[in-house]
């Protein structure tokens, strides 16, 4: 199992099509009229979709061991809407990780979390 020390970063731009493909139909994640009626500036990406770049970094670092013996915990703390870009910042140390996902467009943190993989 590989554990890359130090921080890594991965970015993702959440297009309207990507948000729709990830979401069930008929809510503020997939329907612009519903989002607008709620006063939202556009489609809202689901939190798990926003956390995806952090998960990808962990999977690259820990591989199959992460799928077999890993734990992933996160809290969604900020909104990301269509057209915005997020960047995951992951710090790995000896089978443990801390991460945040920042909305690059607004500068606000969208997700914070931890992960680990058992030996």
pLDDT reported for residue 3: 46
For 93-114, write each residue's pLDDT tens digit: 989 999 999 999 999 999 999 9
Task: Give the pair of three-digit tokens for residue 102.
Answer: 């920042």
Task: Give the pair of three-digit tokens for residue 24.
Answer: 């069930």
Domain 6-117 superfamily per CATH: Hotdog Thioesterase (3.10.129.10)
pLDDT reported for residue 2: 44
Which DSSP helix (H) or strand (E) runs through 11? strand 6-14
* Residue 86 contacts residue 44 (beta carbons within 8 Å): no
Alpha-carbon distance of 5 to 61, in angstroms, equals 10
Q: Identify the residue whose tokens are 């990830």.
A: 22
For the whole prediction, is pTM greater than 0.75? yes
**pLDDT for residue 73 is more than 80:** yes
For 13-67, write each residue's pLDDT tens digit: 999 999 999 988 889 999 999 999 999 999 999 999 999 999 999 999 999 999 9
Alpha-carbon distance of 119 to 117, in angstroms, equals 7
């Amino acid at each position: 199992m590989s554990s890359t020390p130090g921080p890594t970063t991965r970015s993702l731009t959440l297009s309207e099509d990507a948000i729709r493909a990830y979401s069930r139909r008929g809510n503020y994640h997939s329907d612009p009229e519903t989002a607008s009626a709620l006063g939202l500036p556009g489609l809202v990406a689901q939190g798990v979709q926003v956390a995806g770049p952090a998960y990808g970094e962990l999977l690259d670092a820990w591989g199959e061991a992460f799928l077999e013996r890993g734990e992933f915990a996160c809290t969604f703390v900020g909104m990301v809407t269509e057209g915005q870009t997020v960047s995951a910042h992951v710090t790995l140390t000896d089978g443990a990780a801390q991460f945040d996902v920042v909305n690059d467009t607004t500068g606000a943190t969208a997700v914070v979390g931890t992960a680990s993989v058992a030996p």
